[in-house]
Amino acid sequence: MKKETICVQSGTYHDLATRGVNTPIFTSSSFEYLEREDCPYPRYFNTPNQEAVVRKLCALEGAEDGVLFSSGMAAISTAILACAGATDHVVMLDALYGGTHAFATDTFDRFGIRYSFVATNADAVAQALTPGTKAIVIESPTNPLLRIIDIRRVAEVAKRRGITTIFDNTFATPINQTPLALGIDVVVHSGTKYMGGHSDLCCGVVLTSKERAGQIRAMARHLGGSLNATTCYLLERSLKTLALRVERQTCNALRIAEFLAGHNAVRNVNYPGLPGFIGHKIASTQMTGFGAMLSFELNQGVRQADFLHRLQIIRPAVSLGGVETLICAPAETSHAKISADERRRIGVTDDLLRLSVGIENVDDLINDLKQALNDK
């Protein structure tokens, strides 16, 4: 089955009692245990609603098994703690999502986990490996500069040395990129973003082999970040339109990136789909679409605050991946806790604006940007 079909059809719980076409919401946290081996319990990650969504997500990412969490960070932290402990070493990109970055710097010392942060390229990752390295944590495209890393090369180097690769695929979604097919061991997502897609739920997911999912589920049962049945249902409903939404968002983003790149009030448009973009070549070999996130800087002549206030459709708001187009200044939001010097070093200038492109009519979006850029 192709992805559009998987989104709609895979994983649905067939309710023999009513023969309704949707997975019912099973509210129970208590189930009878006689004559059954694997008694469901929400924190055991094995209720009917959790399992239905996991089956759909497995089909989309090409995974054998998966674990559904109450947030993206629950998924990421549990996956890392399941494969690295005291004295182990973990290699991470310095461009990782802020929460993942902070998880390492705030807690790894306490757990005795050693770690290195490296630039977003496969050579830097390879050079940072030590005999004690147990895991490599990467993402591509990165936030907010959309940097691209050669996924196949990282996976190859790691496989040769028996190191587990963990890949945050939130930005690309399985519609535009399937890292497991490129050799990655474990894919994680913040389902809060494109998978939920309507800016109204919080969840996360790990997708991997049967064996690794078993190890991660065992750790998850200790840490306890499970997802409730109602949110499972909302997520399952949202996933039915994931392909439709992401395909439209991706088309809109390319049009907007081209418009911005040709506007004299704008410089440095970061979008993997632009042929002149630094990561375009590698992205073309590992993404089927270039995603719906982009960033850009305004020229000196346009004041950022004025520009943001002039926008009438596009809303200045944090988070991403919903049906509505959102804009934010990473220096004031996702990267606000990082020092100004460090922000400059990693390329996140005060001028940088990040756009999460929605499903609206693209001409309406471009006209909104146009009037906000040109108005002096």
Ligand X SMILES: *Cc1c(COP(=O)(O)O)cnc(C)c1O
| Options 1-9, 18-26, 185-193, 211-219: segment touching ligand X (CB under 6 A) | 185-193
Q: What are phi and psi of 324, to 5 degrees?
A: -95, 145
Minimum CB distance to ligand X, residue 169 (Å): 8
User: In this structure, are residues 42 and 222 in contact, taking their beta carbons and an 8 Å threshold?
Assistant: no
| CB 308, min distance to ligand X, A | 21
Number of helices and strands in the chain (H, E): 14, 12
Binding piece for ligand X, criterion CB under 6 A, among 30-38, 67-75, 210-218, 302-310: 67-75
Number of residues that bind ligand X (CB under 6 A): 15
- Of these, 168, 185, 236, 297, which contacts ligand X (CB under 6 A)? 168
Q: Are 217 and 45 in contact (CB under 8 A)?
A: yes
State which of positions 199-218 bind ligand X (CB under 6 A): 202, 204
Q: Which of 193, 212, 217, 354 forms a contact with ligand X (CB under 6 A)? A: 193
* x/- track of binding to ligand X for residues 116-155 (CB under 6 A): -----------------------x---x------------
Which residues between 77 and 116 bind ligand X (CB under 6 A)? 97, 99
Question: In this structure, what token pair is assigned to residue 289?
Answer: 């679409």
Question: Would you call 233 a catalytic residue per the annotation?
Answer: no
Strand duo 266-270 + 204-208: pairing = unpaired
Contact residue for ligand X among 77, 78, 170, 173 (CB under 6 A):
170
Pick between residue 139 and residue 150 the one whose CB is nearest to ligand X. Answer: 139
Closest to 138 measured CA to CA, from 163, 162, 161: 163
Is 43 marked active-site?
Answer: yes
Which range of residues in 24-32, 78-86, 163-171, 343-351 is near ligand X by CB under 6 A? 163-171
Distance CA 213, CA 235 (A): 20
**Catalytic residue flag (residue 168):** yes
* Span near ligand X by CB under 6 A; candidates 37-45, 189-197, 269-277, 309-317: 189-197
The contacts found for 280-286 with CB under 8 angstroms, 24 or more apart, are: 280/148, 282/148, 282/149, 282/150, 283/141, 283/148, 285/152, 286/140, 286/148, 286/150, 286/151, 286/152, 286/177, 286/182
d(CA 329, CA 335): 9
193 flagged as catalytic: yes
Q: Where are the alpha helices (DSSP H) in 62-97?
A: 72-83
Closest CB to ligand X among residues 73, 329 = 73
Q: Are strands 186-190 and 133-139 parallel, antiparallel or unpaired?
A: unpaired
Q: Catalogue the active-site residues.
A: 43, 97, 168, 193
Summarize as ranges the residues that interact with ligand X (CB under 6 A): 71-73, 97, 99, 139, 143, 168, 170-171, 190, 192-193, 202, 204
